[in-house]
Structure 1
């Protein structure tokens, strides 16, 4: 029963609040995992964040109409073996962002959904470390 538009409005309000804090340099990124990955994508689509990182964001392939609205940097992480987000869906995202210098899509061989969560059976240390490093580099560059 989640109203995704209301959640994205909440993310926008949160980003606005963060920008007003003295600790903030003025730029805010959204990082999300699974459903949160989809919400980070949607927040980028409505322009409320300066950068977005989506870890195995499900359902993005059904919202590719937002892709043209995303002008800020965005980073996608997907597991090769994720049965909830099959490679054909990842391919749709990759194709939609192909040739754009503001988007990178990474697919991690041998990794499943939730590969970054160390308390899950699907945890993949190699994929997690690589994705984490890429995320930190991305944020350092764009924030």
Structure 2
């Protein structure tokens, strides 16, 4: 279902690698799938394939390409988790946002409406897509650091859904409370909390996944995009 493509950067000086999954039938819209700190690994490709099976063009840009193209890491392998955090420490968030904007622009060549969904690091980026890009709707799963970017919340003018784990050891209760307070008055924002689960609960597989919570969150996301994108 999926293939590898390249997308022109906003300045036109480089080509960024990405994974693309295309629907077999009528196109509903496009979804930009934003990676965790583990690169465009099998889990992210599976997420993109799922969106394609639901009728969306799905594109997952390789946001680590400026450091090392083609990174694929397994969070259940300690050495690979450590390597993932190494990439995270070097990560240029503003450059990545420009790459997401370029991906949205490319997707609009095929679809009238484009959504953004992201996980972990991608959850923060999905939030920022709602503040910095023209995405038609955005969904973030357990995005760390959103509480530090609430100064941008005034720019949210299109639908945004956020999913948080109730026992997230990366995003503590104080951070989640600040996010709720900072975004609660914005009618465009919906926030869901999932009690008793930790960061990464919606992974496609592996030790982090909590099936019931993942299915609930993903069902809400699918309904959200069906309303606003397709």
For the criterion TM > 0.5, the same-fold answer is yes
Q: Match of 2:117?
A: 31
**For residues 157 and 216 of structure 2, what CA distance do their matches in structure 1 show?**
25
For 2:134, the equivalent position in structure 1 comes to 48
Relative to total residues, which structure has the larger strand share, 1 or 2? 2
C-alpha distance in structure 1 between counterparts of 2:173 and 2:226, whole Å: 29
| SS of corresponding position for 1:105 | strand
Give the equivalent residue in structure 1 for 2:211: 125
Consecutive aligned runs of 4 or more in structure 1 exceeding 4 Å deviation: none
Equivalent residue pairs, number? 140
> Which residue is equivalent to 1:111?
197
TM-score (norm 2): 0.59
Deviations 1:27-81 (A, max 9, x none): 1111000001111111111133111100000011001011111111000001101
2-structure distance, mates of 1:48, 1:122: 32
Structure 1: runs of 5 or more not aligned: none
Judge conservation of contact 1:37–1:53 (CA < 8 Å) in 2: yes
Residue 13 (1) aligns with residue 102 (2): yes
CA distance in structure 1 between the partners assigned to 2:96 and 2:197 by the alignment: 29
| Distance in 1 (alpha carbons) for counterparts of 2:152 and 2:168 | 23
The secondary structure found in structure 2 opposite 1:107 is strand
Aligned-pair RMSD on alpha carbons? Answer: 1.1
Q: Which runs of 5+ in 2 are unaligned?
A: 1-89
* Deviations, residues 95-115 of structure 1 (Å, cap 9, x unaligned): 111132211111101111000
Report the equivalent of 2:153. Answer: 67
Q: Which has the higher helix share?
A: 1
2:171 maps to 85
**Alpha-carbon distance between aligned partners in 1 of 2:100 and 2:161, rounded to the nearest angstrom:** 18
1:75 alignment partner, SS class = strand
Query: Which sits farther off after the overlay, 93-102 or 48-57?
Result: 93-102
The question of whether the paired residues in 2 share the 8 Å contact of 1:61 and 1:90 is answered with yes
Partner of 2:11: none
